[in-house]
Amino acid sequence: MDARLRRVNKEIADCKNDKTSNIKIDLIEESPFHLKGSFPGPEGTPYQGGHFEVDIVIPESYPFQPVKLKFITKVYHPNVSSASGAICLDILKDAWSPVLTLKSTLISLQSLLCSPEPNDPQDAEVAKHYTTSKNSFEDTAIYWTQIYAGGPGPKEKKGKASTARETRDEIAIAGLERAHVEQFEALGFERSKVIDVLRRLNYRGPNVAKLSEDRVVEELLK
Amino acid sequence: MSSDYEISDDDENYYVDDEDMIDGTQDDDEDDIDMDTFGDDFKVASKSKRKSYEIDYESLSQTAVEELMQSDVDHICGIFGVEASTAALLLRHMSWNKERLIEKYMDNPTKVLVAAGITVEEPLSPPAPIRSHCSSASASSRRPTRSASKLLGLASGSKSPKSPSFASPPLKATRPPKSAPFVCPICYDESPDLRPLALDCEHPFCSGCWIAYASSKINDEAEHTIRCMAETCALVAPDAFIRDLLVPEPGAPAGDPAEEAANAATWARFQELLVRHFVASNPNLKYCPYPSCTNTVSCPAAASKASLITTVPIVSCGARGIGGAAQMSQSQQLSIGLAGKEHKFCFGCSIESDHRPVVCGAAKMWLKKCEDDSETANWIKSNTKECPQCMSTIEKNGGCNHMTCKKCKNDFCWVCMGPWVEHGTAWYSCNRYDEKGGVEARDAQSKSRASLERYLHYYNRWANHEQSAKLSVELYAKTEKKMEDMQITSALTWIEVQFMKKAVEEVEKCRMTLKWTYAMAYYLAKGNEKELFEDNQRDLEKAVEDLSELLESPIEAENIPTLRQKVTDKTVYVQKRNEIMLEDTATGFLEGRWKWNAAIEGFDVPEKTEY
Ligand SMILES: [Zn+2]
Ligand SMILES: [Zn+2]
Ligand SMILES: [Zn+2]
Ligand SMILES: [Zn+2]
Ligand SMILES: [Zn+2]
Ligand SMILES: [Zn+2]
């Protein structure tokens, strides 16, 4: 039997038999070389309670070349592209070793969710959000976990009307802070437009990246 | 290296002597080189004959470079008292910088040996250390991975620290304890006839996995540093280990022939990668960029950046055509214009062709500009235009710029679309950009239009010479057949029908010169010097167009003697004009005569930009 096939089949079987880890590997079609991995978001992180799915492609020269992984589930994380799901992780590149397995790689991915590396980002905008305003970043990450990964969502804060919650949600998806959006809304601009412009300018408050309020207003007037 | 080049009588003979080359390169001591070559008639003669637009260089075969590498390895072996394979890994780790290696090694040999992946890092608190000065820092590339090692105690748990050993045999068959049969941790194979192999770290993997891994690194990643496959293990496989994997021992039972051939090719590729790494580490050397060529050129005169403002270091590796490795028929080679072509390239930049007379900085800037502006300029490159008189579509099919409309018989110039009669007389202004437009431009909009037009003027001529050169070669391919037929049917000898070949080669060469003169002229500041440059350019262009036109005249057996005389005379003249163009421009660079209108790499930034 082809060595690559034997190895992948054994890896899939080992993963099935292992009842202690939460890692799952499933076939997408009949091919054992295109798989779907999944794992729960780590406890104590904004990803807690979410279920994350990963697309796995086994290259021709596996295990001598690394597997190709990308998130199917949308993840708000500095080392994951918010648009494509592409992942920046050393063992998927130069630090790959043929002794690593699909399971160990997925565990590494899970642990990447615990410890973001904003200095080596995949998504520069998310990384900037992470470094400049951690709380706001976590709000967005929790929200993404809720809507994309089936997470529990933010802890209920008392006394909020449903419309206010909806607004907060829109802002959270865009990775912005409510106070910033409201500030420009108060100037008479439409909320959706404010969110659009602030997101495009990557606005994190007036002192960050020398982005003045005038500059934002200028964009809003366009 | 296969070559289908036919030797013609007055081709420059290129003298290649490996022995002499080895002596001449690598040596930093200039006096030594002179001593070595003193008394060699050929070299003395060639030195005095060298033109101002030529540079001294030598061509080295892969074997010659390997000998240079070996002498460095021997040198290090002698100083450190280590094995050749260790010396080779140390040198590669230090990018063949012997001085730095010696300095670092003398300072802390263990640190260097660990960083180079030769020995395993010693434990921080060893029970019985053999070498006491162990270092905690390691510069190896595959170090504890970001997250995997945190969660998994994979291979690292079973790793036992080793003390350095230089003289261990490269291939070590590790004997697993009798109780546990060996299972390869990569392919999960557990057959009893499996051959487990390990480096000094004693991380065993089966030979099949080692071969697949090394082949993938070498062929897919062009990587010559083959590290142990265990996670976080930074040990590098010595060359002998790789060789034993890929090359069967003499007398060994024959394996699968296809597999053995693939492994042999991988071993050859590995050796080539080592040579490439050595060449890339040495500023005096450059690898030939032509496909499947493995030659190297040594050109110490162009090793520094500073030399590139006074010289255009065009070199040739000594080989011609495409190497035997590339499966390409002679006609295929001919159709892409590579048949018997000399491997000419620039030592100073990444342009893989002769860009004389213009210096690297300006040539690169021009190519960048053409790339950026290609959208705007694309329409000019198109092969069809409309006759300026009757507007019918005209296709250019030869290299000559003198166009005659089939419909209205209008004679015009392909480049400027003006009447051809104006080009045949003493006043020939097709090469010169009319600057009045630029002076008269007042507002910003017309200025940017003027600047685009200025660019298009030069680009148009640049692209046209390239296109015409290609068309001349294509046209000649057709003519050649006819000439050969004629040799059979008439009394002409083989040598007598070669004049066309020589002329086409000259036209092609000169069109390349002309092409680059337009890149140069685009950046030359306005003034007397530029005018003289453009005078030379115009004279060469006129001569080339005349010869080009002659080459398109109908060939009949009875007019061959006259045609031959005309073509030969013109070829000699064109050669002379090209010589003048190249000589004068090169001398200008040596004298610092050329002034630019833009900031060219290596040159002073011009105070004012006047086009
Ligand atoms: Zn190892
Ligand atoms: Zn194996
Ligand atoms: Zn070559
Ligand atoms: Zn160059
Ligand atoms: Zn016409
Ligand atoms: Zn013209």
- Residue A108, chain B, CB below 8 Å: the answer is yes
Name the residue with tokens 């020995």.
B119
**Res. B372: pLDDT tops 80:** no
Whether A106 has a pLDDT exceeding 90, the answer reads: yes
Amino acid A180: pLDDT = 82
DSSP state of B177: -
Question: What fold characterizes domain A3-114?
Answer: Ubiquitin Conjugating Enzyme (3.10.110)
Q: Answer yes or no: is pLDDT of B25 > 50.
A: no
DSSP code, position A119: T
Per CB-CB distance under 8 Å, the chain B contacts of A10 are 188
For residue A181, the distance in angstroms to the closest alpha carbon of chain B comes to: 37
**Residue type at position B327:** Q
At B572 the three-state DSSP class reads: helix
Q: What is the mean pLDDT of residues B428-441?
A: 47
pLDDT band at B49 (very low <50, low <70, confident <90, very high): low
Point out the least confidently predicted range of A155-169, B108-122, B238-252, B341-355: A155-169
Chain-chain contact of A7 with B148 (C-beta, under 8 angstroms): no
Domains in chain B, ordered, with CATH?
62-274 (no CATH), 387-432 (no CATH), 452-591 (1.20.120.1750)
How do strand B205-206 and strand B196-198 relate by DSSP bridges? antiparallel
- Whether B274 shows a pLDDT value over 90: the answer reads yes
Whether the pTM exceeds 0.80: the reply is no
Mutation for testing the B interface, residue in A64, A65, A69 having most B CBs under 10 Å: A64
- Enter the ipTM: 0.71
CA of B25 to the centre of ligand 1 (A): 38
Confidence of residue B449 (pLDDT cuts 50, 70, 90): low
pLDDT value at residue B381: 45
* B419 and A CB contact within 8 Å: no
Provide the 8-state DSSP code for B294.
-
Which ranges in chain A are annotated with CATH 3.10.110.10?
A: 3-114
Tell me if residue B543 falls in helix, strand or coil: helix
**Average of pLDDT values for A28-32?**
87
Q: What is the pLDDT confidence band of residue A155, given thresholds at 50, 70 and 90? A: low
CB-CB under 8 Å, B217 with A115: no
Look at residue B170 in the predicted model and tell me its pLDDT. 46
Look at residue B542 and tell me whether its pLDDT is greater than 80: yes
- Output the six-digit token pair for B399: 């290299």
Instruction: Assess whether pLDDT exceeds 90 at residue B499.
Output: no
Tally Cβ neighbours within 10 Å of residue B394. Answer: 21
User: What is the spatial distance between Cα B324 and Cα B344, in angstroms, rounded to a whole number?
Assistant: 18
Max Cα distance, chain A (Å)? 70
- Is the confidence at residue B182, as pLDDT, over 50? yes
Query: Is residue B435's pLDDT more than 50?
Result: no
Asked if A89 lies within 8 A of B208 by C-beta distance, the reply is no
pLDDT of residue B438: 39
- The answer to whether B188 contacts A115, with C-beta atoms less than 8 Å apart, is no
> What is the rounded distance in angstroms from the CA atom of residue A108 to the CA atom of residue B148?
5
Question: Comparing B135 with A49, which gets the higher pLDDT?
Answer: A49
Pairing of strands B196-198, A68-71: unpaired
| Interface subset of A 55-74, CB within 8 angstroms of B | 61, 63-65
Question: Which alpha helices (H) appear in chain A, and where do they start and end?
Answer: 3-17, 102-114, 124-132, 134-149, 162-174, 178-185, 191-201, 213-221
Torsion over CA: A77, A78, A82, A88 (sign)? negative
| Percent of chain B whose pLDDT exceeds 90 | 45
Predicted confidence (pLDDT) at residue B125 exceeds the cutoff of 70: no
What amino acid occupies position B238? P
Helix (H) or strand (E) holding B533: helix B528-551
Distances (CA, A) of A149 to A103, B126, B150: 20, 49, 25
**Residues of B with active-site annotation:** 400
Do B188 and A65 make contact, defined as CB atoms within 8 angstroms?
no
Tokens 């198109």 found at: B382
Complete edge-to-edge strand list for the sheet that includes strand B58-60:
B58-60, B296-298, B285-287
Q: Cβ B216–A61 below 8 Å, yes or no?
A: yes
What are the pLDDT digits (tens) for B393-415?
666 655 566 677 777 877 777 66
Tell me the pLDDT band of A218, cut-offs 50, 70 and 90: confident
Task: Tell me if B212 and A61 make a contact (CB, 8 A cut-off).
Answer: yes
Contact assessment for residue B559 and residue B486, using Cβ atoms and an 8 Å cutoff: no
Q: What percent of chain A has pLDDT over 70?
A: 87
> Does the structure show a pLDDT above 80 at A34?
yes
Of B176-180, B550-554, B594-598, which gets the smallest average pLDDT?
B176-180
- Residues of chain B in contact with residue A117, where contact means CB-CB under 8 angstroms, are 146
Mean pLDDT to the nearest integer, B257-280: 95
Active-site residue, A88 included: yes
| Strand (E) or helix (H) holding B184 | none
pLDDT tops 60 at residue B95: yes
Residue from B431, B466, B437 nearest B454 by CA: B437
Residue B588 has φ and ψ, to the nearest 5°, of: -60, -40
CA distance A162 to A166: 6
Of A69-73, A74-78, B18-22, the poorest mean pLDDT is in B18-22
Looking at per-residue pLDDT, the higher value among B511 and B51 belongs to B511
Is there a contact between A91 and B146 if contact means CB atoms under 8 Å apart? yes
pLDDT of residue B384: 57
| pLDDT the model gives residue A168 | 57
Query: Which of B54-58, B186-190, B234-238, B514-518 shows the lowest mean pLDDT across its residues?
Result: B186-190
Chain B residues close to A60, C-beta within 8 Å? none
Residue of B145, B191, B206, B227 to mutate, testing the A interface (most A Cβ within 10 Å of its Cβ): B145
Which has more pLDDT, A200 or B350?
A: B350
C-alpha B205 to ligand 2 mean position (Å) = 6
Quote the pLDDT of residue B262.
Answer: 95
Residue B115, token pair as written in the block: 């960083």
At B436, phi and psi to the nearest 5? -55, -45
- Nearest listed ligand to the Cα of residue B323: 3
In this predicted structure, the answer to whether residue B167 has a pLDDT above a threshold of 70 is no
A6 and B189 within 8 Å at the Cβ level: the answer is: yes
Distance to chain B for A90, nearest Cα, Å? 7
Distance from CA of B321 to the nearest CA of A (A): 34
Structure tokens at B66: 């390997």
Confidence band of B300 (pLDDT split at 50, 70, 90):
very high
State whether residue B329 sits within 8 Å of chain A by CB. Answer: no
pLDDT for position A108? 93
- Eight-state DSSP code of residue B611: -
Return the minimum-mean-pLDDT range out of B264-278, B305-319, B542-556: B542-556
Q: Is pLDDT of B466 > 50?
A: yes
* For residues B244-267, average pLDDT: 90
Nearest CA in chain B to A96: B231
Site of tokens 């200095």:
A119
Predicted local distance difference test score (pLDDT) of residue A211: 66
pLDDT in the model for residue B605 = 83
List the single range of A141-155, B293-307, B563-577 with lowest mean pLDDT.
Answer: A141-155
pLDDT bin (cut points 50, 70, 90) of residue A196 is confident
Q: Please indicate if any CB of chain B lies within 8 Å of the CB of A6.
A: yes
The reported pLDDT for the residue numbered B312 is 95
Q: Of A125-129, B46-50, B323-327, B409-413, which one has max mean pLDDT? A: A125-129
Tell me the pLDDT of chain A averaged across its residues.
84
Residue closest to A76 by CA, chosen among A129, A11, A21, A154: A129
Q: What is the Cα–Cα distance from B115 to A37, expressed in whole angstroms?
A: 36
- Is pLDDT larger for residue B448 or for residue B463? B463
Mean pLDDT for chain B?
77
Whether A6 shows a pLDDT value over 60: the answer reads yes
pLDDT band at B495 (very low <50, low <70, confident <90, very high): confident
- State in Å: Cα B216 to ligand 2 middle: 14
SS3 B163: coil
Give the whole-angstrom CA distance, residue B551 versus residue B507: 10
Query: B187 and chain A: CB distance < 8 Å anywhere?
Result: yes
More confident residue, B511 or B146: B511
| pLDDT of B426 | 35
Q: How far is the CA of A75 from the centre of ligand 5 (A)?
A: 65
Q: What pLDDT, on a 0 to 100 scale, did the predictor assign at position B610?
A: 59
User: Worst-scoring range by mean pLDDT, A31-40, B43-52, B496-505?
Assistant: B43-52
- Compute the half-sphere exposure of residue A144: CA atoms within 13 Å on the CB side of its CA: 24
A residues 139-198 closer than 8 Å to B (CB): none
- pLDDT value for B235: 95
Share of chain B above pLDDT 70, in %: 70
Buried b (16+ CB within 10 A) or exposed e, B491-501: ebeeeebbbbe
- Kindly state the average pLDDT of the residues B113-118: 95
Burial class (CB in 10 A: 0-12, 13-18, 19+), A218: exposed
What pLDDT, on the 0 to 100 scale, is given for residue A25?
94
